[in-house]
Structure formats: structure tokens, C-alpha cells
Structure 1
Amino acid sequence: MDLDHGGSVRRCSRSRDARETSCGGRPCAGWRAGTHTESPSSSADRPRDRGPAAAPVIEPIALARKLIDIPSPTGDERAMGEFLERELAQLGLSVRRQAVERDRFNVFASAAGRPRVIINSHIDTVPPWFASREDNDKIYGRGACDTKGVIAAMIAAGERLLARGVRDFAFLFVVGEETDSIGAKAANVEFANLGSEYVLVGEPTESKFARASKGKKMISAINAIEATDWGSHDVLGKSTVNVGVVRGGEKPNIVPASAECELMFRVVDDHEVVRAKLERLVSRFGGRITMTRGNAPQFMVVPQGAPSTIVAFNTDVAYLGNLGKPLLFGPGSILDAHGANEFVLKRDLIAAIDTYCDTVTGLCQNSIQTFF
């Protein structure tokens, strides 16, 4: 296996892992228009000559490490976007930038005029960045599971789809998911009339399709917070709240004139219901609240017979409603994201290629059933 990050990302000459099976429309082995700017290209970016039954060229483990080794903290995703432009152009796709703000842009790549399925993930990560490494079982590094490993699996699946003649899909890689979802919001407006029917979003869901995700509400509350019942749901369970930041005072022996805390709610009710409860609460103490952002709980499409789960984290799904029915799936666990030892299991990344390939094929060919 070639793990030389300085060279091309290519497969080794050894036989393929048994888990890397052909997709070809069979059920997966794991679960039986707007204005754009063309991206720059050069002779080095010419599509690979694949032929009708070309063997895979992309080596997903090496690709994942190359992606990890490009720092892309939220707000500084340019280098990552430029790398993806080149990589997707090598697949023979038409690659375009969607301007978001200043020098930030989403990357859109398609093989057909009207893609039926959009394959999406985010290219930003939380700080701090640290480089990739690997052992026999895992790939480590910032973004390994959230979501550089996901993107590597998606691109490898795209290569297989094209080799098998499946072309009515597109890639959409966006900026800003870790903070305000600015990239997803921009894409949702610009591609609203694209005509896509499904958007397959990649996040670390432990290799299960997410049926639902809790909503999000971020608030700065001044002077008082008291525990209360924030709501419950038959599927999602209870709303939760985390006191993430507390500020106030000058010295430990002086009662502060004021205090402030920042809360993250994972809500199962409409976030305006949570806001109203909190406003009533803090008004008793002369406090005030400021909501910085929020969205309601989300419910996703799941392929019939696929393993599924409920996730307690927020994603861009809430902001991509114009692009089609949402699916949410990816290798890795959110419990391993954002930490100093972030990783994704190699076997999960490889298996995800099959799942992405089979899911997109089934959706494009109407050969799999889905349910909410």
C-alpha cells in the first residue's frame, strides 16, 4: 500500500480487500442551478483514462491521510477546497466553485446535467489541527472521522460509480459546518432548482443510517440558569443542555456584578419552545438571553433493511432541504471526533465505500426502497 503523501494517491498492486466488493446495483453487503465559477485546471488535472472497466486508482487510506494533512479549520478551508477540485477533476467530473464569502467556497462536481443524488459532506474541522498517522487498525488526525475519512470513502465510491456507468450523482463539499453552516445555507439557495431528489450527507454515524438527529440551540444567558424539563420525544428521547462556558467576576472573594454562561441545547422540541421556557426562567432573576443559532430536530430517509440509529449531534441536514430527501451515514463515531486522539477505523472507512456506492446506485436506479 502506497502511503507516500508526497505522490499520487493510488492503490497498491495487491489484490483488493474482500470488503471492497462491486456495487453494481446489488444490495450492499453491509445491510443485504445558479452562477458558478469554473475551477482552474492544467494538464496535470486532465481526467484519468479509465476505460469501460478500469481498475480502481484511488487508495482510500492514503487519500484520507492526505486530506487530514491539509489543515482546514473553519474559516480557512481554501487549501482543502483546492485539493478537492483537483482530485475530483481527475475523475473526469465537471468541477465548479460556489462562492460563499471572501475566499471561502464550496466545491460542486458532477457527471450529469441533473444529478438525482447529491453526495455531501463538510470540509472544515475544529481546531487545533494535527497531522495524520496510522497503525494497523486506525487512521488518526484532525478530521479523521469528522469528516476527512468520510470524504475519502465518498470519493472512492464515486470512482467506482463512474466505472460502472452510474453518472446521475454529484458531489457537494461545503465550508462552515462546525459553526454556522454558512456553506450549506448558500448551497441550499443556489442549487434549489437543480432537481436532485436525494442528498446523502456524510457524518460519523458508526456506519449506520441515522433516522433522526436532535436539533441545536446555542444561547448566552446572563445572571441565572436553573435546571428544568426541556422536553422529550418518543424517538429522540430527552432534550439535553450543556453549560459549556461560564464568565463573570474579577476575584474569587468578590461577588460578581454579573455573570454569563453559554449553553448548547440538543433539542427534541421546536427550538422556539425551548427559547420561551428559558426566557420565562431567566426573567425571574432579571436576566436576559441571546440565541445565536438553532434548528429543529431532523428526520432522515433510511434504506429498507439498513441498520439505523438516532444521533444526538447536529449536522448540515437542517440546511439542505431544497436538495432532496436527506440520508445521513458515515464511518467513525462522533465520540471520537474533536479530541486529541481523533481516529477512524480503517475497516469502517473501507466498508463505507461499498455502502455509499450501493446506496447511490440503488437511489439512481430505483432499486432500493427508503422510509422515514
Structure 2
Amino acid sequence: MKNFTWYTPTKVIFGTRILDQLGREASRIGKRALFLYGKQSIKRSGLYEKVVAQLRGADIEFMEHGGVQPNPIISHALEGAQKVKEHELEMIIAVGGGSVIDEAKSIAVASCNEEPLWDFYLGKAIIKNALPIIAVQTLPATSSELNPTSVMTNDATGEKFSFSSELVFPKLSFLDPSLTLDIPIQYTAYACTDILSHMMEGYFTASEDSPLQDGIVEGTCRAVIGALDTVMIQPRDLKARSTIMWAGALAWNGLFVAGVEGASTPNHMLEHPLSGLYDLPHGAGLSIVIPAWLKYMKPHIAHRIVLFGERILGMGESLRNKAALDAADLVIEELEGWYRHIHTPIRLHEAGIEKLDIEACTKQALSLSKLWNIPGYKDSDIQAIYEMMA
């Protein structure tokens, strides 16, 4: 196990009816807030009224900034930062899924630093300060409520990049699984695909077996798969929704790859161009990318693929006495079958992409490989993987 530092300063309040604490907790951080949210779902669900009542009850002034997109864009974040500056707001209350929380981090940085916002995503500028953030998670998937990362799309260029800074960890995150009971099954499937991908990245790229970390990932993956199976039959099952919500917070928090040799994120490197250029749901993009990447990398990671099949997909008997590459093929086939079972696409055309701009996607993926320090990928490798998604 390699040396590591793991840091998570976020206070988490988990459970049902916890939003009764929002006003009191927020008033300890500030008295003037930017209230950030997506489109109309929080108004249809009644959550908007609950948040407003909590803020007003705690005498917190707020300015609204709705309309965050599923793939949040820089221009909208800059508009939010302008509101913060004009009204001298002291904090951001982000109510929504990872997209809303990611944009909150973007606004938090743009409000407190003079450099062009996109420079932080390009690694050209260093974050020196940021507004405090309170997150109310409504669509668990990205761990943004418990990590220091913001992923945004530059709507002028189609680039989908990220930054990380300890300064943008939410100060406080509310995780109420009852808020997720009415999420449509398809979006729950996309979310679970994303949650699983966060754990699969480190699991497949690890250069050696790690009994502790492997065991944590394997158990959590099985729990998410089982919870999704339950939700597909009983969409409002609170226990299953709770499992998905807590796994969603932990999976990309850094804990699961702490100390893991070789862990990296090539599937996200390959997927970001898809959702950035084609506005594809991130989870849908990942279920296309992961099988293609596994097939391409199979000669190098067959052992890890087989472990995934044995320990997570429960394929021990069917893999017994098989050669490693043959067994890996069976695991990939089983994973594709599971994606089909939950109705996520595994080919580009199934997601409405009939002709992929491989050159543009490859260029963006290569940029991400440098920014994220993911070695070993030439443009020919990336192009070949994209071609395998057809």
C-alpha cells in the first residue's frame, strides 16, 4: 500500500426529515446566501418550499439562481458568481444532484478569485479562496457532496474538465434518502452506473491486489447492484434508496482508492468528451465506455476483470478452470448484459450518437490524460477504444 493523505472535512447529516436543521446549521455559516438549484423538479416535489421556509425562519437573506443543467456549463456559473458579487453573498446553498453541487463549487471559486474561471479547470490558475458551500443532495451519483472536485462543461468549446481543491469541500451536506424516492428508474440506473464506475476505476487499474481496499469496493458494489435491483421492482423502497445515497457519497470521496497502487480514471477521461460534446447523461456515457475500455485493456488487466466477475458479479462457478482471457471475455459479456438489464446503452447508436467525432473526442481525452496524470495512452489507443464503442 502506497503512502497517502486522506482528508474529508465535510459534516454529513444523514436521514429522513433532516432538513428541519437546515436553517439553524446554515445560520452558523452566514446570513446571505445564493440559493442554487436545477430546473423545476424541486418545485414540483415541494422541496423548494421547505428550503425557503428554513432560510426565512433563520433570517437568512437569499438570492436564487436556478436553471443548472444536467451537464453544468461555465456561462451559467459565471452568472451566479456575478450575483454573489453584486449582492455580497456569503455562502452557497446548493440543492440538487452532483451537477448543482459541482456548479456551486465553480461559483464559489469564481466569486473569490480574479483569474478567468476556466483557467482553474485547465490547471493554469491556483484556487486561493472559495465561498462556503452547503449541499442538499437529491440525486446521489457523483460524491460531489463529499469531495473537493468540480466537473463543468465549457459551453463555448464543448470541453468537459474538472478541478479539485480542499477549499471547495462542502462545509455541510444533507443526505435525506426520502428526497430520492421519486427519482425515475432510468435516472436511478444512470446514477448507479456512475457510482459503480467510480469504484470500478480504481479496482480495474490497481497494479496489485489490496485485500482491504478491494474488499471495501467489492462489498459496496454488491450493495449498489442489489439496491438497484430492489428499486427496479419497488421504486420507493427507502432502505434501498438509502444504500444508494450513502454509496453515492462515498464512492468518489477518495477513501476507496487511498493507498491503492496504480489507481487512475481512464474511463472518465474517455467519457467526458462524450457528455461534453453530445450532452449525454454521464451514466449513459459510462455504460458505453467501460465495456469498450475493458475489451481493449483486457490483455493487461485480465486478472482484475476476473476478480470483478467472481467477487462482484457472482460468476465464480462459470469462470472456474477458464483461461484468464477467456474468463475476462465472459465477465465483460455479463457486465454488458447487466447494463442492458437496467436499460443503459452499451453502444453509441443506442444513445443517439450515429457518428462520433473521434478526432475531437480524442483531442479532449488526451488533454484530460495530461491534466489528470493518466499515463500510457497514445492517440491511437484512444481512437481504437472509441471505435470499439460503435
| More relative contact order, 1 or 2 (CA 8 Å, 6+ apart) | 1
More strand by share: 1
Structure with the largest fraction of helix: 2
TM-score normalised by length of structure 1: 0.28
The alignment's TM-score, normalised by the length of structure 2, stands at 0.27
